[in-house]
């Protein structure tokens, strides 16, 4: 019995809390009427908020007082990286759930309790990945992350593109998992262990040169990189991304864009930094070239898109390339910071997109639908521009500061050429982000598109949170970085209050501006305007 308790359960606290929430959501759904489903959202939010607070507490503990600890027979690790990613993942999932109810109000057929449960399970998988210290746990986490997403991508059944997305994602994903598993098996064959720590130790025992010339090991490493590269949509393993992101229901796409990158990047860092650090001379050049290809391919392909979901899919590929700079430079805290900004910007952009509807309830997804938006709904146009300018890396926004820090890491890590490729790429990216802004601000709609803006309160909260994050990280990042990068636990209350007050002010601002435009609409077209 004692052994059971001595496993180190607290190392997986947030993960277990999210799992429990998911299970309760799944079970209680059986007794829910259709119109009561909203409570599932509230319950999921509560569970994620709990996980967020627990992860935050653990993060402060581990960065100030407690030593990093191993748990579950060294299968799981509790250190700063794990806890900080738990915090980030809980936060991202929280905002992602806020995006769901508005969409479900228009899509009754999707309003099923599994939606929340699956999303939570997927987050749990990512949290497990953040704590993994064994290749078996990595594999478990990847599967726990992926399976709910396969289902979620096809959730808009019987819409054809959604089914296509699910099938494509499933088949290719299963294939990638196969690669990963085969890689793990080969590495086990070469080293005799799947534990990340033991793998690194074997280098010392057998000698680095001895291990690096072992064909089993090299093949294993290559196969693992292919498998992981698929998960973070690294070129040339990214082909599934645009189709899946376009076909999946929009809030699910938002979640996938924001969260899977977090899960993928943390896995990559876990595996590379713990197990394969002696082999650094092998994987850095390979991944650096892949990063350059990834960002260039993503940006150039995004130039050609006319569907905003597809465009954001390619943009997310490009951003994965930027993040790799930080991964290769060994700057895990900057990667975390960039992922935070990246998730905020993308969730914010998707929140705006989800708040827009056409007269017949259709989603607003084609670029042409955004024409002249600033005339009718300036709030939506301004917010979307803010997120796009941030994605393009314009100061003073989160996108600029965090990208600046990534480039700093790259220069410090002797990857100058990659940084130059990346800055040139961000110029290219300005072009397609600006295209949407041009549509909204500088072009008129050909005929009345009947687009209207009607966020519910949860979407408004999501917008307030993401806008605040993007602005605070741009203007005064110290408020967040002191805690997130340095684990400072001074003035936590003050920081929390100032962030909350800022968010509240932003929310009020959004409210006032929305109200203003809606009154205007009431004057013009007496009954159309909702809210």
Partner 1 sequence: MNQFGLLSAIIFVPLLGALGIALFVPRNRMNWVRGLALGTALVDLALTIWLVARFDPTSADFQFVERLPWISLFGGNATFLYYVGVDGISLWLLPLTALLTAVAILFSWGSIQTREREYYTLLLVLTTGMMGVFTALDMFLFYIFWEVVLIPMYFLIGVWGSKNRIYATVKFVLYTMAGSALMLAAIITFAWILVPFTQQLTFDLTVWKQAVQSGLWEAGVVSDRMETLMFLAFVLAFAIKVPLFPFHTWLPNAHVEAPTAGSVILAGVLLKMGTYGFVRFAMPLFPQASQQFAPILAGLAIVGILYGAAVAFAQRDIKSLIAYSSVSHMGFVVLGLAAMNPQGVSGSLLQMVNHGLSTGALFLLIGMMYDRRHTREMSEYGGLWKVVPVYAIFFLIVALSSLGLPGLNGFAGEFMILIGAFRANHWWAGLATFGVVLGAVYMLWLYGNVFFGPITKPENETLADLNRREILALVPLVALIILIGVAPHMFTEPMQPSVARLLQEIGGTMLTMR
- Applying CB under 8 A, the residues found at the interface with partner 1 are 389, 394-396, 400-401, 404-405, 407-408, 411-412, 416, 419-420, 423-424, 426-427, 430-431, 434, 438, 441-443, 476-478, 481, 485-486, 509, 512, 516, 520
Closer to partner 1 by CB, 9 or 431: give it: 431
Buried b or exposed e, range 281-292, using 16+ CB within 10 angstroms? ebbbeebbebbb
Sign of CA dihedral 256, 259, 261, 267: negative
Closer to partner 1 by CB, 175 or 404: give it: 404
Number of C-beta neighbours around residue 165 at 10 A: 28
Per DSSP, helices labelled H in 356-397 are: 373-376, 378-392
Residue in the block written with tokens 């005064």: 476
Closer to partner 1 by CB, 78 or 401: give it: 401
Closer to partner 1 by CB, 157 or 516: give it: 516
- Return the C-alpha torsion angle 357, 362, 363, 366, nearest 10: -110
Closer to partner 1 by CB, 255 or 401: give it: 401
Pull the structure tokens for residue 470: 């993007």
Closer to partner 1 by CB, 239 or 416: give it: 416
Give the C-alpha separation, 497 to 476, whole Å.
Answer: 15
Closest distance to partner 1 from the beta carbon of 89 (Å):
23
Pull the structure tokens for residue 402: 């965090």
Give the C-alpha separation, 365 to 449, whole Å.
Answer: 12
Closest distance to partner 1 from the beta carbon of 358 (Å):
24
Closest distance to partner 1 from the beta carbon of 280 (Å):
20
Closer to partner 1 by CB, 104 or 405: give it: 405
Closest distance to partner 1 from the beta carbon of 435 (Å):
9
Closest distance to partner 1 from the beta carbon of 442 (Å):
4
Q: Is 307 helix (H, G, I), strand (E, B) or coil?
A: strand
Closer to partner 1 by CB, 209 or 509: give it: 509
73 sits in the region (left: phi over 0; alpha: psi -120 to 50; else beta) called: left
Closest distance to partner 1 from the beta carbon of 430 (Å):
5
Closest distance to partner 1 from the beta carbon of 384 (Å):
14
Q: Is 69 helix (H, G, I), strand (E, B) or coil?
A: strand
Question: 69 has which bridge partners?
Answer: 78
- Helices and strands in the chain: count of H runs, count of E runs: 24, 4
Closest distance to partner 1 from the beta carbon of 247 (Å):
31
Q: Which helix (H) or strand (E) holds 225?
A: helix 215-231
Closest distance to partner 1 from the beta carbon of 413 (Å):
10
Closer to partner 1 by CB, 46 or 512: give it: 512
Q: Are 441 and 512 in contact (CB under 8 A)?
A: no
Q: Are 176 and 231 in contact (CB under 8 A)?
A: yes
Q: Give the β-pairing of 356-357 and 69-71.
A: unpaired
Closer to partner 1 by CB, 469 or 477: give it: 477
Closer to partner 1 by CB, 197 or 396: give it: 396
Question: 62-69 contacts: CB < 8 A, separation 24 or more?
Answer: 62/487, 63/486, 63/487, 64/487, 64/489, 69/8, 69/11
Buried b or exposed e, range 32-44, using 16+ CB within 10 angstroms? eeeeebeebbeeb
Residues sharing a CB contact under 8 Å with residue 52, sequence separation 6 or more, in sequence order: 14, 87, 90, 91, 94
- Closest CA relative to residue 82, chosen from 255, 332, 410: 332
- Closest CA relative to residue 325, chosen from 416, 243, 244, 386: 416
Closer to partner 1 by CB, 160 or 423: give it: 423
Give the C-alpha separation, 266 to 392, whole Å.
Answer: 23
Closest distance to partner 1 from the beta carbon of 294 (Å):
18
Closest distance to partner 1 from the beta carbon of 427 (Å):
5
Give the C-alpha separation, 196 to 75, whole Å.
Answer: 9
- The values of phi and psi at residue 453, to 5°, are -115, 115
Closest distance to partner 1 from the beta carbon of 441 (Å):
6
Closest distance to partner 1 from the beta carbon of 452 (Å):
20
Closer to partner 1 by CB, 39 or 394: give it: 394
């Amino acid at each position: 019995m004692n052994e059971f308790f001595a496993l180190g359960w607290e190392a997986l606290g947030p993960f277990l809390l999210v799992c429990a929430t998911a299970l309760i959501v799944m079970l209680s759904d059986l007794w829910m009427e259709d119109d009561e489903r909203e409570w599932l959202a509230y319950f999921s939010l509560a569970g994620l908020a709990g996980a967020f607070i627990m992860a935050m507490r653990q993060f402060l503990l581990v960065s100030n007082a407690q030593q990093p600890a191993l748990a579950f027979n060294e299968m799981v690790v509790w250190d700063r990286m794990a806890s900080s990613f738990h915090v980030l993942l809980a936060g991202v999932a929280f905002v992602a759930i806020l995006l769901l109810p508005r969409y479900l109000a228009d899509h009754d057929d999707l309003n099923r309790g599994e939606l929340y449960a699956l999303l939570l399970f997927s987050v749990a998988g990512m949290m497990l990945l953040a704590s993994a210290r064994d290749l078996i746990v990595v594999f478990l986490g990847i599967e726990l992350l992926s399976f709910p997403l396969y289902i979620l991508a096809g959730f808009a059944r019987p819409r054809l593109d959604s089914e296509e997305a699910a099938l494509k994602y499933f088949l290719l994903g299963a294939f990638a998992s196969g690669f990963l598993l085969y890689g793990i098996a080969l590495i086990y064959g070469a080293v005799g262990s799947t534990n990340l720590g033991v793998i690194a130790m074997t280098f010392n025992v057998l000698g680095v040169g001895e291990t690096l010339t072992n064909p089993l090991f090299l093949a294993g490493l290559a196969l693992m990189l292919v498998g992981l590269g698929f998960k973070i949509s690294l070129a040339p393993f990214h082909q599934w991304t645009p189709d899946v992101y376009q076909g999946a229901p929009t809030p699910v796409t938002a979640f996938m864009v924001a969260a899977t990158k977090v899960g993928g990047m943390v896995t990559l860092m876990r595996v590379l930094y713990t197990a394969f650090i002696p082999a650094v001379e092998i994987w850095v050049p390979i991944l650096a070239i892949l990063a350059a290809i990834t960002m260039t391919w993503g940006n150039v392909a995004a130039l050609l898109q006319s569907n905003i979901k597809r465009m954001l899919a390619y943009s997310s590929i490009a951003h994965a390339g930027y993040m790799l700079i930080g991964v290769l430079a060994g700057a895990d805290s900057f990667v975390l910071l960039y992922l935070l900004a990246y998730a905020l910007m993308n969730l914010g952009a998707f929140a705006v997109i989800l708040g827009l509807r056409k007269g017949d309830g259709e989603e607003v997804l084609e670029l042409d639908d955004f024409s002249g938006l600033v005339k009718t709904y300036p709030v939506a146009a301004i917010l979307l521009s803010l997120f796009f300018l941030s994605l393009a890396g314009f100061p003073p926004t989160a996108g600029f500061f965090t990208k600046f820090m990534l480039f700093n890491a790259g220069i410090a890590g002797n990857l100058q050429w990659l940084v130059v490729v990346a800055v040139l790429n961000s110029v290219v990216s300005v072009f397609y982000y600006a295209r949407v802004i041009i549509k909204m601000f500088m072009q008129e709609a050909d005929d009345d598109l009947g687009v209207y803006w009607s966020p519910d309160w949860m979407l408004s909260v999501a917008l307030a949170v993401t806008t605040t994050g993007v602005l605070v990280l741009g203007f005064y990042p110290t408020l967040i970085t002191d805690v997130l990068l340095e684990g400072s636990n001074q003035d936590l209350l003050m920081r929390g209050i100032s962030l909350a007050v800022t968010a509240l002010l932003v929310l009020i601002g959004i409210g006032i501006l929305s109200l203003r435009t809606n009154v205007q609409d009431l004057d013009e077209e007496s009954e159309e305007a909702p809210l």
